[in-house]
Chain A
Amino acid sequence: MANNSRPSFIPRRTPTAPKKQPSSRSIGLFGYLSYILFFGSILLSLGMFIVSQQVQNTLQEKQTELATIKDQFQQSEMDRVQEYERFLEQLTAVFSRSISIERLFAAVEDSVVEKIFFTEMTLERAIESLALSASVQSNSFDTALFQRNVYTEFPVLETFTLEEVALQSAGQPTATTQSDEEDTTTENDVVTFSLTFDLAASSLPFSPQVVPVDADLEDDNNETAAATTNTNDT
C-alpha cells in the first residue's frame, strides 16, 4: 500500500481568503448623479413630449369648438333682436308719455264748486308735466275763496296758482287783492281770476283700453245728456 502521506509534487497553496479584485464597474457618486440625471432627463423629455402633444390636441379641440360656436352665431339674428329691443324701448318711452285726459277732466269737474264758471281752459303738455290754465268767473269772493280751499285739498290739482283776481261790477272792472275780509260783492258782480295747475304726468296714469276708431257709440249719448258742464254754463 502506497504511502499517502507523501507530499504532492504540486505545491500546495496555503488557504487564504480570496483577494478581491477591484471591480471595473464600480460607480462613484458622480457616476450615479450622471446616470440619474441622464435617465431622468430622458424620462422628463418623454413626458414633456407626451404632455405637449396632449396640450396641442386640447388646444386644437378648443379652437375647433370655438369655431363651431362662432359658426352657430348669426349676426343677422343678433341685428334683428337688437332692433326689436330698441323698438320695445322706444315703444315703452312713448307709452310712458301717455296720460289720461279723462282723469284730468274728471278731476277738474269733481273739484269745481257751484257758481264757478270756466270761461277758457288751456292745456300744454311738456315731457314729464302738463300745465292747465283756466280763466274762471265767480259771483263772489266767497265762492272764489271756497274754490281755492277745495283745490288745496284735491289730490290731483293741489299744486296750483290763483292770480289775476278782479271784480267786474256794473261794467267797471276793479282790480282787487285777495283777502279774508267780509265779502261785499253783490249778485251782479263778477269776480274773475286765473288758475294755473302744474300737474305731474304721473298723477294722471293712463290705463290702456284700446277702442277701435269704428267702435259703437255705446253710452256716449247718455253721458252727453247727463253731463253738467261748467264750461257750457258760461
Chain B
Amino acid sequence: MKNASVLVQTALLLIAVSLLFFYVWPAFSAISAEQDKISEYDEAISQAAEVNNLLNSLKNEIESIPNTDRNALQTYLPETIDPITVQRDIKAYVDRHSLQLTSMGQGELSSFGTGGYLQQQEFSVIVTGEYQAVKNMLRDTERNPYPLHIVDLIMAPASAASSEVQADITFITYQFISDNQ
C-alpha cells in the first residue's frame, strides 16, 4: 500500500516536472516573444499613426493655401518656361518705358542648383534709351510675377553725342522639374 502511494507521488512529480518543462517553459518563452512582438507592433503603430497625422496635417496645410497664392507660386516657378511669354513680357517692359529694342534672344535651358529640380534659361536683350527709363525698366523686371534675374548688365552711352544709354542685359528665369515630368 505504501509502495503504491510512493509510486503515485513519483508519477505526480514526474507529470509536474514534465508540464513545467514541456508546456510551461515553452509557453513562457512564446509569451515573452509575443510580448516583444506586441511592443514592436505598438511602436510601429505609433510611428505609422504619427506619419499619417503628419501627412494629413501637411496635406491640410497645402490645401489651406488659397488658390490665388498657389497660382502665384506656380507662376513664380513654373514647370515649363514659355520663351514666347517671357520675351513678350520683356518687350512689354521695354515698350512701357519707351525704350528702343535693338535685339532680343533666348539661350539654352541648363540645370541650376543641386538636386536637379531646377533649370534656368537666359534671355538677352539690348535696349537703348534714357538712363532713367532703363533703370525703371530694370526695376519693373525685378518685380515681375516670375523671376527675371539680371546676371549680366553692360550699360554705356549709346553714342558719343547722345544722352541715351545702351543696355545689354541678360536675364535668367527658372523652371521646376517635378518627378512627374
Q: Are B15 and A55 in contact (CB under 8 A)?
A: no
Mask of A102-119 contacts with B, CB within 8 angstroms, 1/0: 100100000000000001
Q: Are B37 and A217 in contact (CB under 8 A)?
A: no
Q: List residues 110-130 of chain A with CB under 8 A from any CB of chain B.
A: 119-125
- Find chain B residues with CB under 8 A from A80 CB: 59, 62
Q: Does A206 have its Cβ within 8 Å of any Cβ on chain B?
A: yes
Q: List residues 41-71 of chain A with CB under 8 A from any CB of chain B.
A: 41-42, 44-45, 48-49, 51-52, 55-56, 58-59, 62-63, 65-66, 69-70
Q: Are A229 and B178 in contact (CB under 8 A)?
A: no
Q: List residues 67-94 of chain A with CB under 8 A from any CB of chain B.
A: 69-70, 72-74, 77-81, 83-91, 93-94
B122 CB to nearest A CB, Å: 11
Q: Does A169 have its Cβ within 8 Å of any Cβ on chain B?
A: no
- The total of interchain contacts (Cβ-Cβ below 8 angstroms) comes to 213
Q: Are B58 and A45 in contact (CB under 8 A)?
A: no
Q: Does A223 have its Cβ within 8 Å of any Cβ on chain B?
A: yes
Number of interface residues of A (CB under 8 A): 78
9-residue interface stretch from A31-39, A145-153, A154-162:
A31-39
Within the assembled complex, what's the spacing in Å between the Cα atoms of A10 and B135? 152
- Find chain B residues with CB under 8 A from A66 CB: 41, 44-45, 48
Q: Is the interface of B mostly helix, strand, loop or mixed?
A: helix
Q: Does B110 have its Cβ within 8 Å of any Cβ on chain A?
A: no
Select A100's contact among B93, B132, B142, B152, beta carbons within 8 Å: B142
A98 CB to nearest B CB, Å: 6
Q: Are A77 and B16 in contact (CB under 8 A)?
A: no
A45-B27, A73-B51, A231-B155 are known; give 10 further A-B pairs, CB within 8 A: A52-B30, A62-B38, A65-B45, A81-B58, A83-B179, A83-B180, A87-B178, A90-B118, A101-B139, A227-B135
